[in-house]
Homo-oligomer: A and B are copies of this chain.
Amino acid sequence: MSDPAGESTTIERDPPAAPAALPPLRDEDDNLSAAFLDAVVAAIEASDAERARLLTEDLHEADVGAILEQLDAEQRPALIQLLGDAFDFTALTELDEATRVEILEDLPAETVAEGISELDSDDAVYILEDLDSEEREEILAQMPSIERLALKRSLDYPEDSAGRRMQTEFIAVAPFWTVGQTIDLMRESDDLPESFNEVFVVDPAFRFLGRVPLDRLLRSARPVKMGEIVDEGAQIVEATDELSSVARLFQRYNLISAPVVDESRRLVGIMTIDDAVDVIEEEADADIKRLGGVGDEEVSDRVLSIARSRLPWLCINLCTAILASFVIGLFETELQKMVALAVLMPIVASQGGNAGTQTMTVAVRALATRAIGPHNALRVVGRELVVGCINGLFFACIVAGVAVWRFGIADLGVVIAAAMLVNLIAAALAGILIPLVIHRFKFDPAIASGAFVTTVTDLVGFFSFLGFAALWFGFG
């Protein structure tokens, strides 16, 4: 740190460089390199603590986390115990939940308590909140009482609330303090957050008055009072606010941090952008997975819990499929008389399912990012209707051609074209209206829309095609 800077002209792009003897951490595709992982595994198997330390000491905690994620289940606690004091428990915050819980269960409670007491409060809570309450109590019992109380207070806030993820270390001064006094406090105090970009100003009851960014502090003369340079226009978060709405606040207003207050408006912590980024990523991830019909599943989850989590959606789909098969069953006579109908009918249903999914995907995202609101909803519905008509006409022509070419029956072309047009219009309307209605009733459109939309397109697809055929050909 006190290297006279003139000497160092090389620049390291990657996390602090490993000495020459160590393999490179990541390959050109940005995955962890096999060579590095092999070296770590070798050190674990040889119980070579010195080698393990050498390999990991200059790594960022995120990379240590990535290594742990790639190891086998029994190697993970082994590595942590091998590293001892050299292991930074922050790395555990970078893991999937299932992996983290597994590791914590395998480690002795004292090791966990010691490791966690070194962390910033937000990281400590993040690790503790996944454990069941018994284990959590056991670990908390081994921690110094001041830290225990601070952690317990955070854990008392509801899951997925700002109180759970806030950092309780921050600097707050009274408005009558001067810039000079504040700077002196920071120079002399040892008990400061690891890094910070602002100082808060509070009243005698510790209620939030405003904040002073460090650049403004630096640009002000020492005798100036903090109350004179305080910025009162801050976006404030309540400890009970949901993390997803906090993340949206960060994103909308490009915040780096935000003060967190309790119900009496007392300053109790700060939310920082890195936590908000994690929430934004988690939310997008959850949206993608819900649209794909899977729950909060992660790659590290166990087989049985995965199979179980995927069942509900598959069951719903089965009901839809059986319903569709009943619709087909209504036309047994027609199918028997003209087997071409059975051959062609999945085309209409499948094309509708896809078009509906496209519209629904755009609608769900637009609702999540608040790009559709009451003011433009009607405009968007109208637009989707037009898109459905255009694509419907286009594909009606194509499938009519295919049907006539394949079966040589011109009338079949007319029937399938009409069914395709009807189903793509139904798909457009279902794709936009179903998410809007689900959202209107305050449910998450990402979860349920898919099932409803494909139900509509399957039913309309089969019914319109077979129904038009029955009318046109007048069987039975």
How many Å from the CB of A222 to the closest CB on chain B? 10
A2 at the interface (CB under 8 A from B): yes
- Hey, what's the 0/1 contact readout for A113-150 against B, CB within 8 Å counting as 1? 00000000000000000000000000000000000000
Cα(A239)–Cα(B6), bound, Å: 24
| A60 lies within 8 A of B253 (CB) | yes
Using known A-B contacts A299-B380, A346-B328, A375-B32, determine if residue A291 contacts B361 with beta carbons closer than 8 Å: yes
Q: Is A349 an interface position by the 8 A CB rule? A: yes
Q: Which of B218, B245, B386 contacts A214 (CB 8 A)?
A: B218
Determine if A74 is an interface residue (Cβ-Cβ < 8 Å). no
Chain B residues with CB under 8 Å of A104's CB are none
CB pair B358–A310 under 8 Å, yes or no, is yes
Contact of A362 among B197, B297, B322, B371 (CB under 8 A): B297
B350:A458 contact, CB within 8 angstroms: yes
How many angstroms between the C-alpha atoms of A446 and B284 in the bound complex?
A: 14
Q: Does A391 contact B (CB under 8 A)?
A: yes
Docked complex Cα distance between A201 and B7 (Å):
13
Q: Tell me the interface secondary structure of chain A in the complex.
A: helix
List the B side residues contacting A306 at CB < 8 Å.
383, 387
Complex interface: chain B residues within 8 A of A358 (CB): 292-294, 310, 313-314
A84 to chain B, nearest CB (A): 23
B residues in contact with A394, CB < 8 Å: 311
Cα distance, A245 to B28, chains bound together (Å): 12
Residues of chain B within 8 A (CB-CB) of A375 are: 32, 34, 37, 70
Additional A-B contacts beyond A9-B209, A303-B387, A342-B342 (20; CB < 8 A): A1-B230, A2-B229, A5-B210, A6-B176, A12-B232, A13-B235, A62-B252, A63-B252, A288-B361, A288-B365, A293-B361, A303-B390, A306-B383, A307-B386, A321-B351, A322-B347, A324-B347, A335-B343, A339-B342, A350-B454
